[in-house]
Structure 1
Amino acid sequence: MFPDKIYGASTRIAGDPSRVALLLPGRGYSVARPLLHYARKALLAHDWTVQEIWWEVPEDLAGDDSAAWVDGQTRQALGREGAGSVMLVGKSLGTLAAPLAAERALPAIWLTPLLHIDGMERAIGLATAPTLLIGGTRDVSWPPGAAERTGQEYLELTGADHALELMGDPVGSVENLARATAAMTAFVAGLGR
């Protein structure tokens, strides 16, 4: 179905080699964008090694194929890791790795998870490792009550869209970024060593 290779490349930023976090981007939201940039900063501040995944999503990728593609890409990236502790941090499309995180009991941070997709709420709810969800009330991917129903820790930002921004309010958007960063930093600190 898909070639046996990771689309794009990965960049490794060194911290403690026994702890590695994979940053999984969205369809049009690379690891250089603000939410994943500050996720990286939070991880590095707590001495995690970060593997940034720079994938190129196939143009014809849609529907059920998206979950299979993300799963395959994430499994390949995980296959290159020998660290004792691994976690996943995904944005939007990257959150389709949630079933894999649950399967392997990996801690995870899901930024604007695709909770509107059938099975995602349940998959995230099956996670036994610490899991943090961050989303906004103006994001169609964040249906009312879905994050709470997962039973996982979550931060809900009132009025925030799929980028966790507030339309017409750049200062409020930056404040949301700060709140999301604070939540990610506290979450990573809580994982300990």
Structure 2
Amino acid sequence: MVKKAVLLPGVGYNCDKPLLYYSGKVLTSQGYEVIKINYDLPQLDIKNHHELRMKLFEEAYRQSSEELSNARLNEADELIFVGKSIGCYVACLLHQRQYTHSRLVLLTPLIETFDLSPDGALVISGLEDPWADAKAIKKRAKDYNNQMIFLHGNHSLEVRGDYQGNLRRVGEVLDALTLFV
């Protein structure tokens, strides 16, 4: 059985940061070949600028699609996209446009991600995320058959000064991922 997983980072949150790094480790231990995507994106102020954000999403998708063109993902019996922030949107685009047999893990998705109908995804979001309001995420995500987990923390699922709690939250994400795969 061929199992592949693709890690899709956020802006400023690469595949070596805890949520993606350890997700990759869990997936490798479950027999997945893990592919890490790196974008070369322009520095744009996207927090409160929807149009710029959409341009950045499309550019990240283009780069990801190009980077994955030789990865033979359609040959995988199991394919999982693990997105972080803008990577969630990219994961949904890849799922919708090219790899409909894939499954989605969405770590701290931005609200626009739910415009792409991410049905059946594992969605994990921070209750104090300044980039994505938890109430809005809950409202949008409930329209789909998603497993939703909301943890205390910001856009990285961290709480300043709570190092033990931050480690526990990473563990909770990894436990959920393990059950999902």
Same fold (TM over 0.5): yes
Aligned to 1:184, the other structure's residue is in SS state helix
User: Pairwise mapping of residues 77-96 of structure 1 onto structure 2 (< 5 A)?
Assistant: 77-82=67-72, 83-84=75-76, 85-96=78-89
Q: Contact between 1:112 and 1:162, CA under 8 Å: does it hold in 2? A: yes
Which ranges in structure 2 are unaligned for 5 or more consecutive residues? 46-51
Higher helix share: 2
Work out the percentage of aligned pairs sharing the same amino acid: 26
Which ranges in structure 1 are unaligned for 5 or more consecutive residues? 1-15, 189-193
Residue 107 (str. 1) matches residue 98 (str. 2): no
Out of 49, 53, 56, the position equivalent to 2:37 is 53
Task: Report the equivalent of 2:58.
Answer: 68
Task: Report the equivalent of 1:28.
Answer: 12
Aligned to 1:44, the other structure's residue is in SS state helix
Pairwise CA distance, 1:109: 0.8
Out of 170, 175, 179, the position equivalent to 1:177 is 170
Q: Contact between 1:71 and 1:100, CA under 8 Å: does it hold in 2? A: yes
Equivalent pairs counted in the alignment come to: 165
- After superposition, give the CA deviation of every residue in 1:91-142 in whole Å (9 maximum; x if it has no partner): 1121121233234322011111112x3xx2231xx235x4111111100333
Residue 133 (str. 1) matches residue 128 (str. 2): no
Give the TM-score, by structure 1 length: 0.77
- Calculate the aligned-residue CA RMSD, in Å: 2.0
Higher strand share: 1
Runs ≥4 residues deviating over 6 A:
none
